[in-house]
Structure formats: structure tokens, C-alpha cells
Structure 1
Amino acid sequence: MSQRTLIQFFHWYLPEGRLWDDTAAAALGLAEMGVTDVWLPPATKGASGAMSVGYDTYDLFDLGEFDQKGTVPTKYGTRAALETACAALRDHGLRVIHDVVFDHKMGADETERVQVRRANPENRTEIEDEAFDATTHTRFTFPGRAGAHSRFVWDHKCFSGVDRIEDPEEDGVFRLVNQYGDGEWNEEVDDELGNFDFLMGADVEFRNRAVYEELKFWGRWLAEQMPVDGFRLDAAKHIPAWFFRDWVGHCRDSISPDLFVVAEYWHPDRDALATYLERTDHQLSLFDAALVHRFHDAARAGADYDLRTIFDGTLVQSQPDHAVTLVANHDTQPLQALEAPVEDWFKPLAYALILLREGGVPCLFHPDLYGASYADTGNDGQTHDITLAPVACLAKLTQARQRFAHGPQTDLFASATCIGFIRHGTAEAPGCVTILSNGEPASLSAELGPDHAGATFVDWLGHCDGECVADEAGRLEVRCEGGSVSVWVNKAAL
């Protein structure tokens, strides 16, 4: 199959009820463009019903099939439409990546009277010694599903903590008193806020063996229902690494050894990512959060940013085989929790840097291909209208990845405001020369070797008119416009 190219085929503000149909309709075009893997949003029923983006997990076994939370379909459509979408992707040679949200559950069906201990929200390792009685929303019976697919009932023994109690009524972070962990949170989670086990809602207790087995069963069950070629693992900072080490290994044994798995361990420190990869036996990849922030900073700084440092401290620089590179996602888009938007002028440069280089699996973002318009409330309390324009050359860059991004790589990082790289090609596939500038129009010299003497090159993206011809030694002078990127390819390869 072609080099792996992933797309996140959704964003936070999609209209209701259409995504599965849109996915099926887009499959052919994505395949022709050079996409190989399609990451779908959480398909399971969320607590907010038809409005749920999917991260407020209610019922893992309801894929838009049962009348629960006021709706049969999820925000994205019915289970039947999901099955059709997955089949269409597979029919066009595309792999299906499912979003897995295990950290928490929300929207309980019943309450329970339990004992809890207060934890300091700013340092969760500080847990009060004294326990007290409270009412919690921790019993999930899924009456609308009535035992179909799974008869497992979740209760307070399946959770480690909650963020709301009643009688007394209080919001905060509360450790449930149970037999797991001697009253402490899970280990092998991120150390933010002392211990980052707790995130929201009813926090799943992975040390409960029944829960552990139910989640393994769900992975096997999903693969029996529809195509599964991989997973995106949500909120990995809050889930013990040992659990995903076991769960991913189990799914590879049960479903396919070739499953592609990427975890959302959103951390800018590559040392923290390296530790997580070690704890999970390097069975998965991680999103390169540091690179996203480099792109954000570079776009804002313009010609004042030293492009030679763009990969410093990134995961793709240190562990390229375990890096998923991206420019934006649903959490970094404007008005979302990790907002770090990359300005429009820089997006073509950023995408060229992830699509055409060796190392890493690049991930496209739905609005960068199709555009998006939405309104939401910002941190300032005001409503903002947002329009995200599609990146005009993104389809061409994605095609270039499959057609020309082959062979060994030589970096041409001589200037702070103009960098480039050569992909030298192979005996079977051509290469290319990529050049980009964050300042004035620029040029650089690429040593291609005598095999390319006299060859004529053109800009695949069409940003630069005319041709460039290699001299008798195979030296090629390439150029690009200011604040732009060009991809020079051998005219004979076209």
C-alpha cells in the first residue's frame, strides 16, 4: 500500500446527522488524493445524545442503534450509516481508524449512596483521610439497550472518582472509597496536578478486573461488527500506561497484528512522550504536540522565526517511527481547549514539512481540506464567528507525498528564513526538492547528482512559474515566493 497518510475526518463543530454519509461520499476522492487511513470520531452514544461530539461517553455498545439519551442516531448518524461508511472506505482501499474513549463515563442512569474522600483539584495526591457518605451518578444500566451486545452493569466499583456529588451537593474532585489502589489514584499516568488520573465525569477504574475484561471484550466486539484497522486512543495522559500496553497487545492478538494505534498523550515535552512509549512497549505512536506548537509559533513570528529550529525538541526528530505529525486537530482549532491555531499563510509550509519528509505519519485535518464555519463562546465570554478556509494546495501536497516523496533525504537548512530538503527518489519512484520561505522570495541550490544532469524541473504546486534545469553536475537552483512553498519535480516524472 502507499505511504501511510492519515486524515482526521471530523472537527468539533460539524453539523448534526451527516458525517457517516459524508464519509461514504468522500471515500473515492480521499483515495485518489493519496489518503490511506481515515480517523473517525467516537461512534458511541454520548451523554448529550444527538449533540454529543462523542467524548462524553455513555454507552460504548450503542453505535447509533438504540433509543438512549433522547436519540437513536449519534451526532454523526445511525449505526447502519456508520457500517455503510466503513464499507465504502474499505472498498476504496482506505483503512478505518476508530476513536476510543475509555477514560470516563457520563450520563449515569441511576444514583448510588457511597463513601467518598475529597481530593485537592490542584494537587490530586492530596486526598483527605476522612471519608463521608454522598450520592453519586455512577450506575449505568443502559435500559434502552436492554442487555443487547453486553449485559455488563457499571456501578461505583467500576470508577475511581467523580467530579460531582449530591447530599451534600458539591462540585470538585472526589476519590471513591473502594478496594482498588489502597485509596490512591492509578499510577503510570501523567504527573500534571500531582496525578492526572482524574479528568471528568465518573473516572473509570482500570484496576477492577471486570472493567479490564469488559473493555477488552468491547475491542473484540467492535471488530466483529465492522472494519477495524486501528485505533486513536483518547486522553492517554489520564489512563494508566499498563492498561493500554495490555489492551493494544490484546487487540493485536485478537483482531490483527497490523493494527495502527496512535494515543493522544498531548504533551510538549518529548521526554514525557519517550517515557510513555517505553511504558507501552513502543506498541503505538503518539501525536507530536511539540511540533504543533512550533508551527503555531512560527506562523505568528513570520520572518523572525528561525526555520532551522522548527524540529527542535519534537517527537518526529527523536523517534520518527512513533510520531504522528499534524498541523491542527479538534482540540487546537479556534475556541477549543488546546487552542493553538496555525495562521493560514503558514499552513501550506507546515503541511509540506509533515507530508513530504521522511519520518512520522502525517495527519490531515478535515477543515484544512474542506473548510469550516461555526460560532462559539470564547474564554472572554463573547460569541465569536469562526471561518476556517481550506488550504488551497493541500490536495496537491497529499498527492505529492505518494508520487514524489521517495528515497533518502538531504536537508538544506542553511538559512533562518529559507529551508528545503531533497527526496532523492528510488529506482522505482521519483523524488522532489521542496523549498519554503517565511520571509522574502528565496532560492537555494540542491545537489542531485550527475544522473540528473540537464533534467528540467517544474513546481508541482504551481506557485512558481517557469522551469529550473539542472547543470552538468546535477546541481539544481530552486526558488519559492515569499511566505510560500514550492515542490520541484522532474518534468519527466509527470
Structure 2
Amino acid sequence: MKTKRMAKAFTVLAPAVLLGSLLAQPASAGVLMQGFYWDATASGTSWWNNLGSKANELKNAGFTAVWIPPVIKGASGGYSNGYDPFDDYDLGSKDQMGSVATHWGTREELQKSVAMMRSNGLDVYVDIVNNHRNGDSGNWIFSYKDAYGNAGGGRFGKGQYDFHPGYNAQDANVPNDDSSFGRDLAHDSPYVASNLKSAGDWMTKALDIQGYRLDYVKGYSYTFIKDYLNYGAMAGKFAVGEYYDSNRDTLNWWSSTATGGRASAFDFSLREELKNMCNSGGYYDMSRLDHAGLAGINPGAAVTFVENHDTDRDSAITKNKALAYAYILTSEGYPTVFYKDYYNYGMKTTIDNLIWIHEKIASGSTTQRWKDSDVFAYERTGGNHLLAAINDNGSSSRTITVATGFGAGVTLHDYTGHSGDVVTNSSGQATITIPANSYVAYSKSGITGTFGTTQYAVTQEFAGAQDLDIKPADNTQLVQVGRIYAQSGKPITAALYYDTASWTASTNIYLELDNTTGAVAATKTYYNTTAQGTALTYTPTTTGWYTFKIRSYSTPSANAKPNYWLKTTYTAPQQ
């Protein structure tokens, strides 16, 4: 059993050990915010609006991406957090399962939230639940409303033979089948596989998404996962899988071999070590952090985390959580911050400091500088270099002397504020003190800076078809396509693509954009001879909601209500 020690100075005797299997990362690898938790609600507003309102604050703190919860309608409508998915084409826009909105809000609010995050330079990753479906009436039949509210008219209906065991035996490339989550989708069915990919492509285009978190990837074929992530608008985008396993070699196999490197993996193996470190009350052997987790053998595949919506509920870290964040935000891997830790549990100031260190200083490969039962110290060798050390002894500080790559006579500053400045000796060694139950992060003094913002426009697609959630170009009425929340002074461009089958010379589609007061701001009429993708453009003078409306005229009976795709490009306000 580990024992407590009095404060004492040590000098490193062994040569530094280079973590040779660790891969170098760029100077700023990014920091991901998990933007939700179980049963999250936002008083007086939707969760989507809540996230959008925090986008500017998150970017200013140094976050680079936000992971949002599942977006499609769940089996309990507004009560579902999305892990019981029902309709692949309902983002909170159909009146079914007891509500129009999902638990998180409406499609309109979701699109605005994504647009505001992109306006603040943040990438958005959506949680994808492809293992199962929920909400049938006990007969394995899934049918959905169409754009006019007609039951059974929605796209991608499903029956008994679209699930296991109805279709056939489970695919051999499934690591761990578990049908307890819901009706187990048959990804080896061409119908199911094709429609899941099409739905993912549609959702990606509707929102303008930059990546995906894949839920329970043990439950379905990794060959399908590769096909899915390489399809349509999803191709080339970031992905990370929830492969819930504490064996780092298994995680590495899934990411590197099973998916061919197409998806990263959440580092459950490292999280297990961090939980043991924090919860052990000072009796954890800190040398175990050497090459710990997937990040220790393949950091380019590792998405590291301290807590998530499941662990917070089922196996939370109950002590000294700051030590765990200190580790993932100074080490290699792609670190994730949990919303509740940041906003609900009072850790924002601590985490903001560590994010700044991660983004401004921590880069490059890792060299181990010290390890024993109380202290683990390591140096990131890129850029200005970062010498980090963690002491889990709850009663005693530790002073150690370690080799560094800074050179001789260099003044080092602890950017956590936990310890004083030091100067390297003639051999380039540094003598540093790590307070009890704390951490330090040293680099050259004088490093400063804040986080700038690159403002991105979004391109969000409204697809109109009777079997979707938006009506086609109706020949009997002017119908609403959708609304966008646009910043004044930034142009709105709307490119229209449409089905011209059986059109005559007089057939046309009328597109209208209304301003924030409801007045007509711009219009365009499209004929059979108009080039596909011809755009309506308008530059708003007021920040707010702008509404697209559409109608068809003189359409043939064979194509009375043409399908269309309206690709809107605009910039949302940052706040």
C-alpha cells in the first residue's frame, strides 16, 4: 500500500525516457466541450438556444469544438434525450410521439445554435445512435408522419425484417451485440445500410456538421461504420467512437484496424487510471501514468476525457478531479471537457487556465522526466516546451530536480500559479516544487495571448419532399421552407435545386425571402431553363429571423409538387 511522505527534494538519477511510441501533435490540437449531460434542461429556453448563447464564451475560453446530443426525435418525444431514436428524419419538426420539439428543442433552434457556434469558429460534432431504434408499438413496425402530417408517409419506414433477429443472424464484424437498448438494426441489410447512410448525409447537410460521436459502436458492424463515415457529406469528417472498454489495446485495434483509422476512440482506458488516481486519496501509484491508456500508445487516435454523461451518473470521479483535467489538458490526445464539470460543478476557472496552457503551450511529443508513487512529471517537447508534474500526495508537497529541454539559465514560469518561478541550472535541469494534491505546468516566462475567432458562415440545406419534414414546392399554396437567424451586413445566399421531371415551358417555382418584419425582401422565379443552383441573394440590414417560402405553378400531374433542395449560406451573429 502506498504511504505518505514528508516533503523532500529528489534529483533524477535515471536518464529521461522518451515516450517513443507517442506521435507528435500540432501546436494546438484543440479542446472539445461535451455540451450536455443526462436530463439537462435550460430554464426558460431550449437547450439548443442555451448552447448557442454560450458559443462566444466557449470560444473565448479556448474551446475549438462542441459535441451536441442526439438530434433526431426519440421514442418519448420531448422527454427523450435522444438515445432511444425513433424517426431519422425528424429533428424536432414533426408533431409525433407527443411533441414537435425534441427534448433539446426544435429543428429551427438547432440550426440557429449550430450557426452561432460556427460563427464563433467552433466545430460541431453530433451524437449518432445507429445501433438501435425505439418507439414501435410492440410489432417491430416503425412508421412516420410525412411533411403534411399524414401517418405512415414518412421516409425510411421499418419492419421486422429490418432488425435482428428478423433479418438474419448478427453480422460477424460486431464486437459485442446487445439488443437491450432497443430494436437491433440490421446493418447487414442493404435497405437499412443504404437508408442509414442517406439519413446521415441529409442530417449533415441540414445542419452543416463537422464531425460525429458514434454511440455504442460495439453493437454494430465496424465495416458498416467505415462505409457510413465515407458516404456523401460525411466523408472526411472527424469521428470518435464510444467503444466502452478499459483495455487500451482493444481500443487501438478498433480505431486503427477495425475502422482502418477512420474513427478515433474515447480513451476509457486512460479514464480508468484517472479515476483511480483521483478517488484513491493519495494511495495511487503515479508511475502508472507512464504510457497510460490509448493516448500512451496511439495519441492520434485517443479522445481523452475525465467525465461524460454516463460516467457522471454511474461511476463518477468524486475527489481531486482537477488532477485528472490537469493531466488530459497537458498531455497528448484530444481532450474533452464535460459540461457539468465546467458549468455545474464549479470547475470553470480551473479548466479555463488548463485550456489556455493546452492551446498556447502544450505541443509535440512527450518525454518522461520523473515517476514514483507520488509524482509523475513529463515534458512536451514542441514549441516553447511544457514541463508538467502532478503530485497526488494529499499532505506533502514534493520537490524534484529533473532534466529539461529548455537549456541552461532559462527562467521558467508555472502557468498554473501553484508554484514559483525557477531558473534551469548549467545542465538545463530544473528544480520544481509541486504542492500537495496539486500540479504545475512550467514553460518559458513571458508567454501571453488570448483566443481569436474565425467567423464561419454555414451552409444549411432545406430539402422539400412529401416524405420528409418540409413540404415540397406545393402547387396550391405558398408554404414555408424554413427560417434562418442571420447577422446584419452578412449576405444570405440561397441556391435552389429542383426536380424538373415532365415540366413544360410554363412550369415554374417561385422562391421568396421575407425579412424580420415579415415583408418580402427578395424573390426569384425558376423555370425549366434556369440553371440548377441559381441563387437568390440578399444582404440583411437587421439581425434576426429571415423566412424562406416556396410555391410551384403550372406543374404537370406527373410532378404536381416538385421536390427541391434549398442550400442556404449565411452568417449568424456571434452573440
Distance 2:371 2:308 in 1: 31
The equivalent residue for 1:119 is none
The equivalent residue for 1:317 is 296
Aligned residues: 415
Distance 2:327 2:196 in 1: 37
1:161-240 aligned within 5 A: 175-176=165-166, 180-181=167-168, 184-191=169-176, 196-240=177-221
Distance 1:471 1:311 in 2: 26
Structure 1 position 141, deviation (Å): 1.4
1:338-377 aligned within 5 A: 339-345=314-320, 347-358=321-332, 360-371=333-344
Q: Please report the TM-score for the alignment, with normalisation by the length of structure 2.
A: 0.68
1:265 equivalent to 2:243? Answer: yes
Residue in structure 2 matching 1:455, options 406, 410, 427: 410
Aligned-residue RMSD, C-alpha: 2.2
Residue in structure 2 matching 1:68, options 86, 90, 96: 96
1:54-133 aligned within 5 A: 54-108=82-136, 111=137
Distance 2:347 2:146 in 1: 40
Give CA deviations for 1:7-54 in whole Å, capped at 9, x if unaligned.
Answer: 111110311553211211111121122211111000111111112111
Distance 2:347 2:89 in 1: 35
Distance 1:462 1:217 in 2: 51
Contact 1:269/1:313 (8 A) holds in 2: no
Give CA deviations for 1:119-178 in whole Å, capped at 9, x if unaligned.
Answer: xxxxxxxxxxxxxxxxx3311111265489952211112111xxxxxxxxxxxxxx43xx
SS in 1 for 2:179: coil
The equivalent residue for 1:131 is none
Contact 2:145/2:154 (8 A) holds in 1: no
The equivalent residue for 1:443 is 399
Q: Which has the higher helix share?
A: 1
Runs (5+) with no aligned partner, structure 2? 1-25, 449-575
1:23-38 aligned within 5 A: 23-38=51-66
1:301-340 aligned within 5 A: 301-310=280-289, 314-334=293-313, 339-340=314-315
Residue in structure 2 matching 1:420, options 377, 397, 409: 377
Higher relative contact order (CA 8 A, sep 6+): 2
1:142 equivalent to 2:127? Answer: no
Letter of the structure 2 residue corresponding to residue 457 of structure 1 = L
Distance 1:306 1:44 in 2: 44
Structure 1 position 313, deviation (Å): 5.9
Distance 2:429 2:290 in 1: 26
Structure 1 position 255, deviation (Å): 4.1
SS in 2 for 1:74: coil
The equivalent residue for 1:299 is 278
The equivalent residue for 1:14 is 40
Give CA deviations for 1:88-146 in whole Å, capped at 9, x if unaligned.
Answer: 111111111011011111112xx5xxxxxxxxxxxxxxxxxxxxxxxx33111112654
* CA pair 421-313 structure 1, distance change in 2 beyond 3 A: closer
Contact 1:344/1:391 (8 A) holds in 2: no
1:52 equivalent to 2:80? Answer: yes
Letter of the structure 2 residue corresponding to residue 273 of structure 1 = L
* CA pair 217-88 structure 1, distance change in 2 beyond 3 A: same
Structure 1 position 256, deviation (Å): 4.5
Contact 1:197/1:239 (8 A) holds in 2: no
Structure 1 position 408, deviation (Å): 3.7
Contact 1:20/1:85 (8 A) holds in 2: yes
Structure 1 position 330, deviation (Å): 0.6
Q: Please report the TM-score for the alignment, with normalisation by the length of structure 1.
A: 0.79
SS in 2 for 1:364: strand
Distance 1:369 1:81 in 2: 23
1:282 equivalent to 2:284? Answer: no
Distance 1:279 1:474 in 2: 44
Runs (5+) with no aligned partner, structure 1? 112-135, 161-174, 372-387
1:397 equivalent to 2:397? Answer: no
Distance 2:429 2:155 in 1: 68
Letter of the structure 2 residue corresponding to residue 314 of structure 1 = G
* CA pair 282-242 structure 1, distance change in 2 beyond 3 A: same
SS in 2 for 1:433: strand
The equivalent residue for 2:541 is none
Contact 1:433/1:446 (8 A) holds in 2: no
Distance 1:144 1:86 in 2: 25
* CA pair 455-272 structure 1, distance change in 2 beyond 3 A: closer
Give CA deviations for 1:346-400 in whole Å, capped at 9, x if unaligned.
Answer: x222112111123x211111111111xxxxxxxxxxxxxxxx4435411110111
Distance 1:292 1:311 in 2: 14
